[in-house]
Amino acid sequence: MASTQKWTIEFEPAAQRELDKLDKPVARRILKFLYQRIGKLDDPRKIGERLQGPLSEFWKYRVGDYRLICSFENERLAVWVLRIGHRREIYSR
């Protein structure tokens, strides 16, 4: 039986701009990860990692050399993608 989408994936404008700037194969890989892995989980926190310190309300996902910084809106079952960037740069802005 095929799993259906449980969580909606939503992008902050800054994250959408960051996604649009990526090479097409990388962007496709990130979108596939979000919609086919994260969106179908009962709890997307299962495969993510909570950030530490003052950012502990946010979660990160690793997709190759890229990191996705996300938050969750439990009432609407929405995953908000806040930032997308290379692992070398994502935490320095």
Does residue 2 surpass a pLDDT of 80?
Answer: no
- Strand 78-86 to 66-73 pairing: antiparallel
Does residue 1 surpass a pLDDT of 80?
Answer: no
Helix or strand holding residue 81 (H, E): strand 78-86
Q: What is the pLDDT of residues 24-64, one digit of tens each?
A: 999 999 999 999 999 999 999 999 999 999 999 999 999 99
Ramachandran category for residue 8: left, alpha or beta (phi over 0 → left; psi -120 to 50 → alpha): beta
Q: What is the pLDDT of residues 77-87, one digit of tens each?
A: 999 999 999 99
